[in-house]
Chains A and B, each alone.
Chain A
Amino acid sequence: MSTITNTTKTILRAEGFSCPSCVGKIEKQVSRLEGVESVTVHFASARVEVVHDPALASTDDLVAAIAKAGYTAKPAAF
């Protein structure tokens, strides 16, 4: 069992996914980051839910990873 402690869930919203294959791209880029336990991408609502350790992977890191996949995302309070 290698669960990371001190995890928090961050919800990010991106501008809009237009191709279903983007889901895989984003998930790959974000899960590569150290400290990310899981990432779920919702296509229709353009949301990305990430469970991560903020000490290792900050919100800015997440935003940058999503940008690498080609999308601008912003963290949201809910």
Chain B
Amino acid sequence: MNHVHSWLSGRWTVPTVSGLLILASLASSQLLGEPGWGDLFMVAAAVVAGTPVVIKAWRALTAKVIGIDLLVSVAAIGAVVIGEYWEAAAVTFLFAVGHALESATLNKTRSALAELIAVAPDVAVVLRDGQQVEVGAAEVREGETVLVKNGAKVPVDGVVSAGTGALDEASITGESIPVEKSAGDKVFAGTIATGGFLQVTATGVGADTTLARIIHRVEEAQDAKAKTQAFMDRFSAWYTPAIIVMAVLFGLITRDVVLALTLLVIGCPGALVISIPVSIVAGIGRGAKDGILIKGGEFLETSARVDAVALDKTGTLTEGRPKLTDIVPLQPDVDRDEVLLTAARAEAGSEHPLAKPIIDAANAAGLPVVGLPEHTEPVPGKGIVATLDGHRIAVGNLALIESEQGRDPSDDARAAEVGQELAAAGRTPMVVARDGRVIGVVGVADQVRDDAREMVRQLHGAGVKKVVMLTGDIEPVARSVGSQVGVDEIRAGLLPEDKLDAVADLQRQGYTVAMVGDGVNDAPALATADIGVAMGAAGTGVAIETADIALMKDNLLKLPEAVSLARRTVNNMRQNIVIALVTVAALLAGVLFGGVTMAIGMLVHEMSVLVVIANAMRLLRRHGGRTLDRPGDGTGTGTPARAGEVRTPQPA
């Protein structure tokens, strides 16, 4: 009984019944020679398929909306009134069939999001009072210990407290190579344990998990209107009444009611209406599966137009873990250890990223850095000045040292020379001075990331004209890194506010600028850029919620992938619009020159809708080569990650 009930309210009920009635009608009139019964069945078919449409049209009218349902209703009723029973039945039947097909396939375009939702965990095993208790995933308390066994879904965001295991994090980052986890590592809800046993301390539960934030964001993105879509909505709003008016006019002029009714059917903007949303849903869904979260249709459109990318050097193009590489004493009575220790002790209280490598190097060299200087004064963009044992110590660039009193100009010249040598080799030089006397220079270098060069190459390939490196570091170092990586332009020596100016300058030159930053000190520049990109966003709630594009994994190659996806989606949208418009134009020509009946008009119209949906579904397919964790080996002989998948060879 339940089966019958669910079938009765299924999407195929109306088309099936209507179809059967049409067959009955044809059978009656053609086979049995009973045209009276034939007409009756035909009208019945039209009523069965047409009634839901009329009801929807009525409801829409009460909400002051004129839509497709009204067009089809008027056409069908009109056809019945003038005795064109076959046309009426055919139009409503085809409309019903098309509708059923549409809703089935439209669900597929949402499959990416549906998969994310399906991955959401339901249950969790927690340790309460030493017992293993199964609870709902959303009922775990923060700080509780959750057990993750082999094959289970991780139910919460957390930190591993004990045990080891491997997790498939594809649902969050888009990378399906399992990641080894051990004590201290972060884990995410919705990932799957492929081996081992983990004890996890919960940090985020339910809506507070990265998975929930991703889902929330994808949904918001799919709901948000693209500019083109808003335009389409306004277009349809006057287009549909205009069709009715036009049809009425034509009918009055030519006194051909059939022509007028056919025009109504042809005018249905069905394909036009869904052409954009369907591409956006598919494009955003595809991105989410690959760990690329785009905020919405509007951002998709802007991302597709990006032709300049601004990148921070430290942490984006480089590893972000600078190390001390050189110590050059410049006075005969000062040795390397003294230079190092002096610099390290002066930097002891500093938060600056260049302070840590000096301190670490001192500790590693057996020169422990104990305590803090009596007085510390950071000078933004230049360095730090501290008072150590009564001495005034300055560590920073030449500009800082030049403002110190009582120096020997030949010392300055030697420091500058050493500094230039280091910089040309890609190291950031810092001059150390005590009581105004230059005692030495230290060099700090940050390793350039493996895939930085490949990323810039792919960005150019994806259509980005200018890749710009922004850095507060000095020009020679910037140039050294820049040439290693292949950027088009370097802007060095920038203070944080200069970065904003750099972005604005690019925009003034006419570029659509995407900026990649860490969101903390780049916030103003990120906000100025047309598209702000956050990398390695998994685990950072704020980045996921606010960045225009959030790349879940800290993988540089995801950036060109995102730009490429945006372009493909916008192209797809345009293709759909063209398909919709061409269909209407062709049908219109067909009607005016004869040969296109209402039935054919509806058939072609429904087919155009399905074509638009199918076109959008192409976006859901994996495109070309996958983004790998590491660039290819250059020989192109690597085996595909999965059978049947194409892996594009990466040239060395």
Which residues from chain B contact A42 at a C-beta distance below 8 Å? 219, 223
Contact of B103 among A13, A16, A21 (CB under 8 A): A16
Which residues from chain A contact B207 at a C-beta distance below 8 Å? 77-78
Within 8 A of A (CB), among B522-544: none
Q: At the interface, is chain A mostly helix, strand, loop or mixed?
A: loop
B122 → A minimal CB distance (Å): 9
Instruction: Render B213-231 as a binary contact track against A, CB cut-off 8 A, 1 for contact.
Output: 0011011101100000000
A43/B9 in contact, CB under 8 A: no
CB-based nearest A residue for B103: A18
CB-based nearest A residue for B137: A77
A16/B107 in contact, CB under 8 A: yes
Complex Cα gap A21–B222 (Å): 18
Which residues from chain B contact A44 at a C-beta distance below 8 Å? 219, 222-223, 277, 280-281
A19/B99 in contact, CB under 8 A: yes
Instruction: Render B191-228 as a binary contact track against A, CB cut-off 8 A, 1 for contact.
Output: 00000000000000011000010011011101100000
Which residues from chain B contact A16 at a C-beta distance below 8 Å? 103, 106-107, 110
Q: How many residues of A contact B (CB 8 A)?
A: 19
Counting CB contacts under 8 A, is B113 at the interface?
Answer: yes
Which residues from chain A contact B56 at a C-beta distance below 8 Å? 19, 21
Counting CB contacts under 8 A, is B360 at the interface?
Answer: no
Counting CB contacts under 8 A, is A1 at the interface?
Answer: no
Interface residues on B, range: 20 to 34
Which residues from chain A contact B222 at a C-beta distance below 8 Å? 44-45
A21/B59 in contact, CB under 8 A: yes
Q: How many contacts A-B (CB < 8 Å)?
A: 59
A77/B138 in contact, CB under 8 A: yes
A25/B59 in contact, CB under 8 A: yes
Counting CB contacts under 8 A, is B257 at the interface?
Answer: no
Given A45-B222, A77-B138, check contact A21 B117 (CB 8 Å): no
B106/A18 in contact, CB under 8 A: yes
Counting CB contacts under 8 A, is B60 at the interface?
Answer: yes
B102/A21 in contact, CB under 8 A: no
Counting CB contacts under 8 A, is B63 at the interface?
Answer: yes
B223 → A minimal CB distance (Å): 5
Counting CB contacts under 8 A, is B419 at the interface?
Answer: no
CB-based nearest B residue for A46: B110
Complex Cα gap A70–B14 (Å): 14
B534 → A minimal CB distance (Å): 21
Contact of B219 among A18, A47, A70 (CB under 8 A): A47
Complex Cα gap A76–B643 (Å): 36
Counting CB contacts under 8 A, is A15 at the interface?
Answer: yes
A23 → B minimal CB distance (Å): 10
Complex Cα gap A51–B607 (Å): 40
Counting CB contacts under 8 A, is B87 at the interface?
Answer: no
A60 → B minimal CB distance (Å): 17
Complex Cα gap A65–B212 (Å): 26
Which residues from chain A contact B117 at a C-beta distance below 8 Å? 13, 76
CB-based nearest A residue for B216: A78
Which residues from chain A contact B107 at a C-beta distance below 8 Å? 15-16
The interface centre, meaning the residue of A13, A43, A77 with most chain B CB atoms within 10 A of its CB, is A77
Complex Cα gap A49–B113 (Å): 17
Complex Cα gap A19–B56 (Å): 10
Which residues from chain A contact B65 at a C-beta distance below 8 Å? 21
Complex Cα gap A19–B215 (Å): 23
Complex Cα gap A43–B501 (Å): 40
Counting CB contacts under 8 A, is B426 at the interface?
Answer: no
Counting CB contacts under 8 A, is B396 at the interface?
Answer: no
Complex Cα gap A15–B120 (Å): 16
Instruction: Render A4-28 as a binary contact track against B, CB cut-off 8 A, 1 for contact.
Output: 0000000001011011110011000
B153 → A minimal CB distance (Å): 14
A78/B103 in contact, CB under 8 A: no
A78/B215 in contact, CB under 8 A: yes
Counting CB contacts under 8 A, is B15 at the interface?
Answer: no
Counting CB contacts under 8 A, is B69 at the interface?
Answer: yes
The interface centre, meaning the residue of A42, A44, A77 with most chain B CB atoms within 10 A of its CB, is A44
Counting CB contacts under 8 A, is B67 at the interface?
Answer: yes
Complex Cα gap A20–B233 (Å): 12
Contact of B99 among A18, A25, A46, A70 (CB under 8 A): A18
Instruction: Render B270-284 as a binary contact track against A, CB cut-off 8 A, 1 for contact.
Output: 000100010011000
Within 8 A of A (CB), among B47-104: 56, 59-60, 63, 65, 67, 69, 99, 102-103
Complex Cα gap A33–B65 (Å): 25
B106/A78 in contact, CB under 8 A: no
CB-based nearest B residue for A28: B59
Which residues from chain A contact B69 at a C-beta distance below 8 Å? 21
Complex Cα gap A13–B110 (Å): 12
Complex Cα gap A44–B69 (Å): 20
B60/A21 in contact, CB under 8 A: yes
A30 → B minimal CB distance (Å): 16
Which residues from chain B contact A77 at a C-beta distance below 8 Å? 120, 136-138, 206-207, 212
Given A16-B107, A18-B106, A78-B206, check contact A24 B59 (CB 8 Å): yes
CB-based nearest A residue for B117: A13
A28 → B minimal CB distance (Å): 9
Complex Cα gap A78–B208 (Å): 9
Contact of B63 among A13, A15, A24, A46 (CB under 8 A): A24
B223/A78 in contact, CB under 8 A: no
A40 → B minimal CB distance (Å): 10
13 A-B residue pairings within 8 Å (CB atoms)? A16-B106, A16-B107, A16-B110, A20-B67, A43-B223, A44-B223, A44-B280, A46-B110, A47-B219, A77-B137, A77-B212, A78-B206, A78-B212
9 extra A-B contacts, CB within 8 A, seeds A43-B223, A44-B223, A77-B212: A13-B117, A16-B107, A21-B56, A42-B223, A45-B218, A45-B220, A77-B138, A78-B120, A78-B138
Ranked 7 nearest A-B pairs via Cβ: A18-B103, A45-B219, A78-B207, A78-B212, A16-B107, A77-B138, A44-B222
